[in-house]
Amino acid sequence: MEILKTKLEGLLNDLPEKVDVEDVMYRLYVLQKIEAGEKDIAEGRSLSHKDAVERLSKKWQN
């Protein structure tokens, strides 16, 4: 998945002056997951809260 350079710059600007590589990698991971979720929503691959609750309720009842 590609991350826009401007988003990457924003992520780097929000970091403290001293930061571990692990922190940078974690923030990139979170950013990637958020963008993947937004893409899924835009492409209709999501459930409403009501549908999610119904599916989980059925699963838990079995």
The span from the CA of 38 to the CA of 59, in Å, is: 26
Q: Amino acid identity of 14?
A: D
> Which pLDDT does position 56 carry in this prediction?
94
Is residue 62 pLDDT above 80, yes or no? no
Q: Does the pLDDT at position 50 exceed 90?
A: yes
pLDDT digits (tens, 9 = 90+) for 23-49: 999 999 999 999 999 999 999 999 999
pLDDT of res. 8? 85
Q: How confident is the model at residue 1 (pLDDT cuts 50, 70, 90)?
A: low
Q: How do the domains of the chain map onto residue ranges?
A: 20-61
Residue 47 near residue 57, CB atoms below 8 Å: no
